[in-house]
Amino acid sequence: MLSPEQRAKWRSRLFSVPTLFFLSAVITWPFLAEFEAFEVFYQFSRSHENWELDEIAMLGFNLLIALGLSVWYKSRRIKRLAEYRELERNRADVNARHDPLTGLMNRRAFYEVVENLSAEAQDASGPRYVALVDLDRFKPVNDVHGHAAGDATLIAAAERLREEAGAGGVVARLGGDEFVLVFGPAMDAASVERAARRILRSVEQPIPFNGQSILVGASIGLVQWDQDRGLAEMMRRADHALYQVKAGARGSFAWYDEDADRQSRDRAEIASDLKHAVENHDIVPFFQPIVRIDSSELVGFEVLARWTHPTRGNVPPFVFIEIAEDSGLIGPLGMALLRKACIHAAAWPEELSISFNISPIQFREGALVENVQKVLKETGFKPSRLTIEITESSVIDDFEIARKKIDAFKALGIQIALDDFGTGYSSLACLRSLPFDRLKIDRSFVTDISEQRQSQQIVSGILSLASGLELDVTAEGIETADDLTYLQGLHCSLGQGYFFEKPVPAEQISWLLETEWSDNHVMSQPDVRAAS
């Protein structure tokens, strides 16, 4: 036991100025670190070198208290920092998984949720259905009313879609004006269709914005969720169904069609292969003879595109030509085909011409005339031996532009024919406005004309019109001797068809010129050849 005098001595030392100073320094050490605290402590220790043992012990005791307080303070600070970081992490995760504008799940979160639903679907009692929704007429909203109006439209659409998802349903914004819904498990196909109709009506309702009414619509692609095919395939099918809607009647919905999808994928594969075929010059010209109907004299050939695919075999022209137009390949394909045709035809007798079809999309190309002129110059083929065939749809949009191109062709010495005459809506306007050299009567009016009274009247009228305008006429699709005889009676000038010859490759032209048309008349049994 310490005596009162000793206790007073320790108390005085415990609360002495040096001790309190040192305790304060330790406690405030973290705050003084940036203010040369070590130097302060060093000076303090130098000034108290004569301390006794009891004083040093008291200093250690105070140091332990100070260290404890410092540790407690640091731990609290670290804990608060960890809580703050966790809060920020959660906030970042929410922002990364949700669309900041509509509050819906974004694409990433949607895929995660659907993957979880897919894993749980083994215990589901029935199928689930997916709707891919795309807003119609949304782009003009931004262009006309501004992006604030566009944001208001997306927010309103998101709210309307939430109401139709059903219990257990999922709604997300995939990006832009595209949304997706996974309907609740209690909804069957009929319920989904009713919900789709409600969505269409709901989205069409005016959206108020700054005293104005914004009007948009929606197109919906529906698909049944097939667990065995995976999420990516499900979304691809929904997207295909939506594409079918937007390619036809917008503002409606359509279920995924497997047959249509198969055709679409087949078309996509052909488009990919066609690109390589054009680059490798695999599209080759075939030639079908054009003859004078009254004498069967050979006057030239129509150039027709043919493509033999390495695995598909012969791909019909109506298939790959349309794909070439849609994919932007028609220009390179057409010029490559014309170049090959001119190279072959340059070696034939000069009285033989070639007729070459220009598609409507190709006709609209700004450099068309220059490209054709370049091909003629490179191949040495005379422009006077070339006839360009164009359809009415090529010129109907703008007669003035069409006239300039036709005049440019004619200035080079190239003749112009109006193809498929009689199948359009404004053929007389074309003849009145544009300087054609020849008309081609569509095969639908020529084949079996001897038995088709309506076709007889149409062809007779076309021939009378052409005679008054001093235009040559080519009748395509002559299949039988009866067709030929009837056209001879109408004094049609030119004809082509299987009765004379089917389209043949360039390698067979020399044989035809040396045999069948060696004396400028057809062989003695054309009906036998036609049957082949």
Q: Which domain holds residue 163?
A: 107-256
Which is it for strands 298-309 and 353-358: parallel, antiparallel or unpaired? parallel
Give the DSSP letter of residue 129. E
Local structure of 364: helix, strand or coil: coil
Examine the domain organization and report whether 75 and 135 are in the same domain: no
Examine the domain organization and report whether 461 and 514 are in the same domain: yes
Mean pLDDT across the stretch 173-189?
87
Q: How many domains does the chain have?
A: 3
pLDDT value for 529: 38
**Nearest-angstrom CA–CA distance, 426 and 399:** 12
Examine the domain organization and report whether 444 and 364 are in the same domain: yes
Mean pLDDT across the stretch 426-444?
81
Local structure of 389: helix, strand or coil: strand
Share above pLDDT 70 across residues of the chain, in percent, rounded to a whole number? 79
**b/e map of 447-466 (b: 16 or more CB within 10 Å)?**
bebbebeebeebbeebbebb
Q: Which residue has the tokens 């004396």?
A: 519
> To which H or E segment does residue 307 belong?
strand 298-309
CA nearest neighbour of 179 among 119, 211, 134, 117:
134
Last residue of a domain, one of 214, 231, 256: 256
What pTM value is reported for the model?
Answer: 0.63
Is residue 98 situated within a structural domain?
no
pLDDT value for 44: 59
For 203-239, the DSSP string reads HHS-EEETTEEE--EEEEEEEE--GGGHHHHHHHHHH
Examine the domain organization and report whether 145 and 70 are in the same domain: no
pLDDT band at 221 (very low <50, low <70, confident <90, very high): very high
Decide: 529 and 501 in contact? Cβ < 8 Å.
Answer: yes
**Which tokens go with 340?**
């090959």
Local structure of 284: helix, strand or coil: strand
pLDDT value for 511: 87
Q: What is the pLDDT of residues 393-404, one digit of tens each?
A: 888 777 888 889
Last residue of a domain, one of 233, 256, 279: 256
**Which tokens go with 71?**
């540790």
Examine the domain organization and report whether 237 and 276 are in the same domain: no
Is residue 265 situated within a structural domain?
no
Local structure of 375: helix, strand or coil: helix
Mean pLDDT across the stretch 377-404?
89
Examine the domain organization and report whether 195 and 63 are in the same domain: no
Is residue 408 situated within a structural domain?
yes
**Nearest-angstrom CA–CA distance, 347 and 510:** 10
Q: Which residue has the tokens 């028609």?
A: 330
pLDDT band at 450 (very low <50, low <70, confident <90, very high): confident
Is residue 101 situated within a structural domain?
no
Residue 113: is it exposed, middle or buried by C-beta count within 10 angstroms (0-12/13-18/19+)? middle
Examine the domain organization and report whether 252 and 293 are in the same domain: no
CATH number for 339: 3.20.20.450
- The answer, yes or no, to whether residue 233 has pLDDT greater than 50, is yes
Examine the domain organization and report whether 47 and 120 are in the same domain: no
pLDDT band at 532 (very low <50, low <70, confident <90, very high): very low
**Nearest-angstrom CA–CA distance, 148 and 132:** 24
Q: What is the pLDDT of residues 124-156, one digit of tens each?
A: 555 788 999 999 988 888 888 888 999 999 999
What torsion, rounded to 10 degrees, do the Cα atoms 198, 202, 204, 207 define? 180
Mean pLDDT across the stretch 273-296?
92
Examine the domain organization and report whether 140 and 84 are in the same domain: no
Lowest pLDDT segment from 125-139, 290-304, 356-370, 406-420:
125-139
Is residue 518 situated within a structural domain?
yes
pLDDT value for 399: 83
Examine the domain organization and report whether 166 and 289 are in the same domain: no
> To which H or E segment does residue 377 belong?
helix 368-379
The length of the chain, given as a count of residues: 532
pLDDT value for 112: 83
Last residue of a domain, one of 88, 119, 143: 88
**Nearest-angstrom CA–CA distance, 331 and 329:** 6
Examine the domain organization and report whether 285 and 252 are in the same domain: no
CATH number for 139: 3.30.70.270
Q: What is the pLDDT of residues 6-58, one digit of tens each?
A: 555 555 554 454 555 555 555 555 544 544 555 655 565 556 555 555 556 66
Examine the domain organization and report whether 399 and 478 are in the same domain: yes
Is residue 55 situated within a structural domain?
yes
pLDDT value for 522: 44
pLDDT value for 524: 38
Is residue 95 situated within a structural domain?
no
Is residue 199 situated within a structural domain?
yes
**Which tokens go with 60?**
């250690």
